[in-house]
Structure 1
């Protein structure tokens, strides 16, 4: 029967266009889910994980403990450096300094180079890295060097920002090389200086441990047992009294995203959900299209049986066709997914200035997608093939009656559809309420299958109702509405592909918009202040605040004057209440009292009910107002202190600060220059010591880029679905050849026939798009509630996620679907109108 199957493919290729498109759409979704996942991982590795990329293991402190002693120095290795299998333990100690080059002065972050430069993840663009024993050699990032006219060989004077009691002297360092700026959000907003250990000691003084150490990087020996070394490192840290997490670079990146998401692996949820949804859509679209195709071939299959083909041979022929078409469609779908994801990533990288957006190929995922496409196609063909060969050949050759809701098959279909739709929806909502993913996703899938089974009931009725709008078109408008009711299965089959496509688009638009808003809320609460600038000891604070406020892209500035310390030594700074409220991006919902008398703004890890502090010589108690990761000090309202007699003078031997809020939407590549503009305006010696501007901008850009790729994929899939609508309309016109000829014989003009088919297509497309958007909003909200509830709770907004419905985009989807339905009808309508009534009536 291979000969029969291949002859069918050769002689009637147009019959298989809709099936190939269905397989292509399904495989495209599945392959794209793997590619978006690998692209997201590659992008996160290039940004959040750029400083981890050269390591085998990353040691992350669980709190604010200093972990640098665990690594030690090259002269005195720490306990982790002495572990079996560890070649190097590197502590990224970040210190701050003021750099002077020619007439320029700017703040920098100074970091030590490891013995193996690959651990730092640096890319040298000019010159070379300094030697380990070069006491004056440093590198500077190329962006800063270009902005200030620094070249390889120039001298840059580095003055330590260790504080007013520092005894260090400025060091005249020589720039031995330029490096590509790091996209790490902790570094992206600052000038980056990498120094040899000898040069770093010279800049920082003899206290080589000064600075902030966010993590340790371990480089292992070849063949080392990574899990065993990780466990040994964890045990050594515990013995030293430090609580750490030891992870691979990829695990560390995912941990950072999870920490931002309030303990939820947001990336894994989104990408895993996308893959599961893609698999479901693949099965539904292929199965539905193949059932229509085999149903249309019932007479052909019956004829084969009348001339001697056995039931097994007929089934084998159908399955052979399915296998061939499945391979073709699946390979095309996987290839198109690669082209789309790579193309969108390249376009976003160029047009949106996202150099860190990295396309990640997933060969295993592509192979799985092709295999799933072929397997689902063969399985989808099995049931229709069995059903088509169960009836007697002579009975199958007779015209087949429409399966109506009142027939036995229709009643069974309706009952099953109702059970799946209602039960699946209840299961989905129940799973969402308790955040149980299996029941929520499974219930959503079952409810959507139920909706598709019930499509023969409500889609034709909805089209008939919408046909009221076509009455001004006269007879063609009325005929289009009547056709939807008379041929329910055909109407439902035509609308099915578009219903699936628009449901997915609305789902991801609604879920994506909701995720954007919830992520923005989480970022605002996690990083409440964009920049914290430490003022030099001899600065005029008021003039510095005015100068910074006049800087471009600065929205608000609050002057923080040191007035004391807490019982654990943290500085307490007084800020005008209105200014403090202006610079704090957002507090968690339900958190109030910012700037009120007797309250203090503290980091969210402070778990005491009261903060004890010595303020302007008096012991005071403050009620904590917790806000994100701001750890540069404790901030209280200045007005109550003035009322108590404070004259506004600094009451502690620590520098004053400026809390700076930036304009919304400042791009990542502008942050470094903006930080320099701010510190320059604040005065010589000012430095950025805290703030979440870099993290906020980078997270937002990554999320926007990933969402853009997904939406682009969905848009392409809808266009492909519309091609499937055009093909289904063509098959419908072929089926209705005699019917159309009879209408022509009764007086309907060619224009009237074209109008009937065009109006019917527009009505079906519009109704499918509207229903798909409604379903997509429901499923999008359910998915957002399931995935983002913990994130919303972390931001203080409660666990009930408010959906963000993109009304404008959904309206555009409906309008585009209507226009595309009209375009899809042009060729079938033209073909039907060109056939003469006599020839049409003679057709069998």
Structure 2
């Protein structure tokens, strides 16, 4: 039977090729998805962990029990240790000055900065600067730069001293480790320790350090040894702790995304499963027609002694061979596509850290091959069962296709309705769990289960309703002539064939619409999360102090110059003050830092303007941290006291964060000489954040005033780029799903034409012209594709919105977006695909003369 099966496969190679291509693309989708998951994870971790360089481990502790860096370095298996720390200093050359973060030199693997010219500092009196900072100051290699820093005396008084190190190197920050501060200058470790200690008046506690393991040393063994040194654990559940860099990055990424960093992988793997269902439909149709065409061959085999089991096994063996070969080809294709995508990204110099090559794991190879083979064999089960029913007497008469006359049963109708109802109920429950009850894990599980069940119900029941919908749409075009009426009638004459053909595209379009809708909603929700994480694009803060240690004001001229910088959309002035807060009679006063801001001006510059919704005269808006420290809640009263006066205000607790706000009106009542010590700036949409921050730094540097520019917009832009790249990878995978859907439409329509060859010949014999036959098939293809596409878009919107609600609810309010451009494009492509899919079948139907076609079995 094996030799007979292989011979039959060779004779049917053309028809099996279409089914094989569907499996190749389906398994390539799965392989590419798994590879993309690895790339996305690696990219996200590298972005978050950039500050640790190429460290193997990260050690953490608390301020009360800090780390002993020397003890860490002396631990067995440790090659290098570097504290994760930074200080700030004012860099000046002539009339230009820049407030810049400064970090110490470290082992090459622990330094995230790259030298673009010169070298790293190796002794006192040397400094390396970010290349853009050197340009801003107008210095080059070999020049000196004034470094102003604070020194605290033994009596607690402080003074500012100036160093004049020589510039020995220019630096680049390729992964954005110090994007928030516009890069970092570097001095040698001994100089850094001296500056840091003198700025605090005492040695500074080290609470986090990056560690490189010696060559040949097992990382796990070194981790255990370090845990013994610090007396901690190998997880961050309690301090001190020792974890791998990836574990630390995963924890930081989870803090940023609300623990939803796996949602893209879950989404796309779900889509890959749906794409394989499309491939399964193509395979089922292929084998059904092959079994029908081989009816006489199968009957002859029964006549010469083959039993039912052997006949059924021959069909399943054929499917297994096809599935295995196509799945292996799919893994190779998916790997090639993944690697090509990385090469293209590197060639385009995508500004996010990407690995140089895809990581081939056993899951990437085994899972797609196993899934592809199982799907192929599973799709052939029904045709194999049909093959076992072929009687030996069928060898003496022609056999019709098994799908042309069977009618769908009531049991199928009831089951499809129940499955769809339960599925949509679970889908709604998943969305509610994610948005209302803030249970994203349960919500996502319920959503996936509900989506799968409801779609199975829709697909299984499609034979009952989809042909009628297509026929109703056909009546809209039937008035154009007899060809259109024949096409519309054909959609009802064989409901199984119509349902199968349209369902293939229905699944594909649903997949695309669901992903684009989910991606659009996710993008909107993640943007809102970033707005909360980075509430202000740029901050300019005075760093000068008067003789009494009070922070000096920013001049009106500087504020006007900053506001005039290209790319700055709006600005508002702020004042930073420190007041005493008393929550009630007999309670102790607590120092409370406040930011005085005009609520209307703040609403214009804050990325999340609702933060100031409760701020009004007579109210202090406390951050959650301050409210907890003061044991205050919304509606409580608190007395604020400064040197010039006191005011009693009502407490409102902010949604999140640790910044507390007061109105400028209440500030005037507290302090008669309060000055503007800072500015909040909002940048224009679409402006290059790094360039805009650089221009603001140039203005500040030229002013001669001591001020710090904090460009959080640059770091926010980096995260935006990471998100955009992740969504770009997902959208790229959608192209694979579209190809699957188009192959499904073309293949099933081709098979239906083969089944109707006699019918087409009869129409030709009674006068239907070749052009009219082509037109009939084209209209039929357009009707079936159009109906499948429109219904797919509707289902895709429902699934995309429900999935976004289930997965993204924990991040805040979910905006349910409609990607109009993508949906319109999908509909146009579907209609064109339906038209194109009719071309090859029409050519097949017209090859033979009507007499020859009527003579064919």
Question: What is the TM-score normalised by the length of structure 1?
Answer: 0.87
Partner of 1:617: 644
- Higher alpha-carbon deviation: 821-830 or 781-790: 821-830
SS of the residue corresponding to residue 47 of structure 1 reads helix
- Whether 1:789 aligns to 2:809 is yes
What is the CA–CA distance in structure 2 between the aligned matches of 1:628 and 1:256, rounded to whole Å?
A: 21
What is the CA–CA distance in structure 2 between the aligned matches of 1:186 and 1:569, rounded to whole Å?
A: 31
- Compute the displacement of 1:278 (Å): 1.9
- Whether 1:192 aligns to 2:190 is no
What is the CA–CA distance in structure 2 between the aligned matches of 1:519 and 1:241, rounded to whole Å?
A: 27
SS of the residue corresponding to residue 51 of structure 2 reads coil
Partner of 2:846: 833
C-alpha distance after superposition, 1:50-93 (max 9, x if no partner)? 123522333467xxx648x72345xxx36x66766655543221
Partner of 2:426: 427
SS of the residue corresponding to residue 159 of structure 2 reads coil
- Compute the displacement of 1:99 (Å): 2.1
SS of the residue corresponding to residue 688 of structure 1 reads strand
- Compute the displacement of 1:220 (Å): 4.2
- Whether 1:329 aligns to 2:356 is no
- Compute the displacement of 1:491 (Å): 1.4
What is the CA–CA distance in structure 1 between the aligned matches of 2:399 and 2:150, rounded to whole Å?
A: 89
Residue pairs, 1:701-712, within 5 angstroms: 701-712=721-732
SS of the residue corresponding to residue 90 of structure 1 reads strand
Partner of 2:39: 39
| Equivalent residue in structure 1 for 2:211, among 210, 214, 218 | 218
What is the CA–CA distance in structure 2 between the aligned matches of 1:359 and 1:379, rounded to whole Å?
A: 38
On the 8 A contact 2:23/2:372 being kept in 1, the answer is: yes
C-alpha distance after superposition, 1:211-253 (max 9, x if no partner)? 9988432334523536635755785599x99956653222222
- Compute the displacement of 1:386 (Å): 3.2
- Compute the displacement of 1:176 (Å): 3.1
- Whether 1:732 aligns to 2:732 is no
- Whether 1:254 aligns to 2:250 is yes
Partner of 1:108: 100
SS of the residue corresponding to residue 838 of structure 2 reads helix
- Compute the displacement of 1:752 (Å): 0.6
On the 8 A contact 2:87/2:103 being kept in 1, the answer is: yes
- Compute the displacement of 1:443 (Å): 2.4
Instruction: Describe the shift of the 1:404–1:495 C-alpha distance in structure 2 as closer, same or farther (beyond 3 A).
Output: same
On the 8 A contact 1:59/1:216 being kept in 2, the answer is: yes
Partner of 2:572: 558
Instruction: Describe the shift of the 1:231–1:628 C-alpha distance in structure 2 as closer, same or farther (beyond 3 A).
Output: farther
- Whether 1:306 aligns to 2:300 is yes
What is the CA–CA distance in structure 2 between the aligned matches of 1:692 and 1:754, rounded to whole Å?
A: 61
C-alpha distance after superposition, 1:102-136 (max 9, x if no partner)? 7753332111123x2312334333333333xx112
On the 8 A contact 1:405/1:414 being kept in 2, the answer is: no
| Equivalent residue in structure 1 for 2:469, among 426, 445, 462 | 462
SS of the residue corresponding to residue 608 of structure 2 reads coil
On the 8 A contact 1:35/1:360 being kept in 2, the answer is: no
Partner of 2:364: 366
What is the CA–CA distance in structure 2 between the aligned matches of 1:242 and 1:719, rounded to whole Å?
A: 50
What is the CA–CA distance in structure 2 between the aligned matches of 1:534 and 1:340, rounded to whole Å?
A: 48
Instruction: Describe the shift of the 1:564–1:298 C-alpha distance in structure 2 as closer, same or farther (beyond 3 A).
Output: closer
- Higher alpha-carbon deviation: 377-386 or 18-27: 377-386
On the 8 A contact 1:511/1:783 being kept in 2, the answer is: yes
Instruction: Describe the shift of the 1:520–1:540 C-alpha distance in structure 2 as closer, same or farther (beyond 3 A).
Output: closer
- Compute the displacement of 1:424 (Å): 2.0
Residue pairs, 1:58-69, within 5 angstroms: 58-59=58-59, 66=63
SS of the residue corresponding to residue 164 of structure 2 reads strand
Partner of 1:121: 112
What is the CA–CA distance in structure 2 between the aligned matches of 1:347 and 1:570, rounded to whole Å?
A: 52
On the 8 A contact 1:301/1:314 being kept in 2, the answer is: no
Partner of 1:274: 268
C-alpha distance after superposition, 1:444-484 (max 9, x if no partner)? 21221221111212221111111123224311111111111
On the 8 A contact 2:352/2:718 being kept in 1, the answer is: no
SS of the residue corresponding to residue 48 of structure 2 reads coil
SS of the residue corresponding to residue 267 of structure 1 reads coil
Flag structure 2 segments of 5+ consecutive residues without an equivalent. Answer: 434-438, 545-551, 582-589
Partner of 1:593: 614
Partner of 2:488: 481
Partner of 2:666: 640
- Higher alpha-carbon deviation: 5-14 or 474-483: 5-14
SS of the residue corresponding to residue 102 of structure 2 reads strand
- Compute the displacement of 1:419 (Å): 2.5
| Equivalent residue in structure 1 for 2:822, among 809, 814, 833 | 809
What is the CA–CA distance in structure 1 between the aligned matches of 2:16 and 2:237, rounded to whole Å?
A: 68
- Whether 1:763 aligns to 2:783 is yes
What is the CA–CA distance in structure 2 between the aligned matches of 1:565 and 1:529, rounded to whole Å?
A: 24
What is the CA–CA distance in structure 2 between the aligned matches of 1:626 and 1:528, rounded to whole Å?
A: 17
On the 8 A contact 1:188/1:671 being kept in 2, the answer is: no
SS of the residue corresponding to residue 363 of structure 1 reads coil
What is the CA–CA distance in structure 2 between the aligned matches of 1:49 and 1:473, rounded to whole Å?
A: 65
| Equivalent residue in structure 2 for 1:174, among 166, 171, 177 | 166
SS of the residue corresponding to residue 593 of structure 1 reads coil
What is the CA–CA distance in structure 2 between the aligned matches of 1:597 and 1:350, rounded to whole Å?
A: 57
What is the CA–CA distance in structure 1 between the aligned matches of 2:7 and 2:209, rounded to whole Å?
A: 65
- Compute the displacement of 1:681 (Å): 6.4
Aligned length: 813
SS of the residue corresponding to residue 58 of structure 1 reads strand
What is the CA–CA distance in structure 2 between the aligned matches of 1:678 and 1:294, rounded to whole Å?
A: 73
What is the CA–CA distance in structure 2 between the aligned matches of 1:711 and 1:161, rounded to whole Å?
A: 51
What is the CA–CA distance in structure 1 between the aligned matches of 2:37 and 2:237, rounded to whole Å?
A: 38
Instruction: Describe the shift of the 1:593–1:188 C-alpha distance in structure 2 as closer, same or farther (beyond 3 A).
Output: closer
> What CA RMSD, in Å, does the superposition of the two structures yield over aligned residues?
3.5
C-alpha distance after superposition, 1:22-57 (max 9, x if no partner)? 212321321122122111112113312212352233
What is the CA–CA distance in structure 1 between the aligned matches of 2:655 and 2:555, rounded to whole Å?
A: 26
What is the CA–CA distance in structure 2 between the aligned matches of 1:622 and 1:339, rounded to whole Å?
A: 65
Instruction: Describe the shift of the 1:417–1:802 C-alpha distance in structure 2 as closer, same or farther (beyond 3 A).
Output: same
What is the CA–CA distance in structure 1 between the aligned matches of 2:349 and 2:651, rounded to whole Å?
A: 41
| Equivalent residue in structure 2 for 1:521, among 519, 528, 533 | 528
C-alpha distance after superposition, 1:198-222 (max 9, x if no partner)? 2324554634778998843233452
What is the CA–CA distance in structure 1 between the aligned matches of 2:9 and 2:44, rounded to whole Å?
A: 45
| Equivalent residue in structure 1 for 2:714, among 676, 686, 694 | 694
Question: What is the TM-score normalised by the length of structure 2?
Answer: 0.86
SS of the residue corresponding to residue 39 of structure 1 reads helix
On the 8 A contact 1:498/1:722 being kept in 2, the answer is: yes
What is the CA–CA distance in structure 2 between the aligned matches of 1:456 and 1:9, rounded to whole Å?
A: 30
- Compute the displacement of 1:187 (Å): 2.7
SS of the residue corresponding to residue 206 of structure 1 reads helix
Partner of 2:148: 159
SS of the residue corresponding to residue 191 of structure 1 reads coil
On the 8 A contact 2:95/2:704 being kept in 1, the answer is: no
Partner of 2:286: 293
What is the CA–CA distance in structure 2 between the aligned matches of 1:94 and 1:156, rounded to whole Å?
A: 19
Instruction: Describe the shift of the 1:786–1:82 C-alpha distance in structure 2 as closer, same or farther (beyond 3 A).
Output: farther
What is the CA–CA distance in structure 1 between the aligned matches of 2:718 and 2:420, rounded to whole Å?
A: 41
Partner of 1:450: 457
Partner of 1:356: 353
Flag structure 1 segments of 5+ consecutive residues without an equivalent. Answer: none
What is the CA–CA distance in structure 1 between the aligned matches of 2:523 and 2:311, rounded to whole Å?
A: 53
- Higher alpha-carbon deviation: 359-368 or 228-237: 228-237
What is the CA–CA distance in structure 1 between the aligned matches of 2:110 and 2:267, rounded to whole Å?
A: 34
What is the CA–CA distance in structure 2 between the aligned matches of 1:241 and 1:29, rounded to whole Å?
A: 38
On the 8 A contact 1:88/1:218 being kept in 2, the answer is: yes
On the 8 A contact 1:24/1:333 being kept in 2, the answer is: yes
Partner of 1:411: 410
What is the CA–CA distance in structure 2 between the aligned matches of 1:120 and 1:570, rounded to whole Å?
A: 37
On the 8 A contact 1:306/1:393 being kept in 2, the answer is: yes
SS of the residue corresponding to residue 48 of structure 1 reads helix
